[in-house]
Amino acid sequence: MPLHDLVSESLDMLYYGPLQFGTPPQELMVDIDTGSADLWVTSDCPSCPDKQFNKQASSTYSDTGSEYFLTYGTGEVSAGLSKDVVAVQGLSVKQQAFGTVRSESEYFSQYPISGILGMAFSTISVSRRKTLVENLIVEKQLAAPMFSVHLARGQETGSEACFGCMDKDKTLGDVQWIPLLSKTYWALALDAMFVNSAMTVANMVTAAIDTGTSFIYVPEDLATKFYRLIPGSRLATEYGTGYYAYPCNEKFDVSFLFGNHDFTIHSDDFNIGKECVGGVVSLGQSFPASNFAIIGDCFSGYSTFDYSNGGRIGFSPSINNIKPL
φ, ψ (nearest 5 deg) of residue 156? -65, -35
User: Is there a contact between 45 and 17 (Cβ–Cβ < 8 Å)?
Assistant: no
Distances, alpha carbon 228 to alpha carbons 199, 246, 258, 267, 312, in Å: 11, 11, 21, 18, 32
Asked about 44 being catalytic, the answer comes back as no
How far is the C-alpha of 322 from the C-alpha of 266, rounded, in Å? 6
Reply yes or no on whether 210 is catalytic: yes
For 122, phi then psi, to 5°, come to: -65, -10
Yes or no: say if 280 and 218 are a contact pair by the CB < 8 Å rule: yes
How far is Cα 273 from Cα 99, in angstroms, rounded to an integer?
35
Which is catalytic among the residues 5, 12, 33, 191? 33
- Pairing of β 75-88 and β 62-72: antiparallel
Phi, psi of 299 (to 5 degrees): -90, 60
What is the Cα–Cα distance from 271 to 294, expressed in whole angstroms? 17
Point out the catalytic residue in the list 5, 12, 31, 210.
Answer: 210
- CA 176, 283, 15: angle at the middle one, nearest 5? 55
Closest to 132 measured CA to CA, from 184, 165, 158, 94:
94
The residues assigned a catalytic role are 33, 210
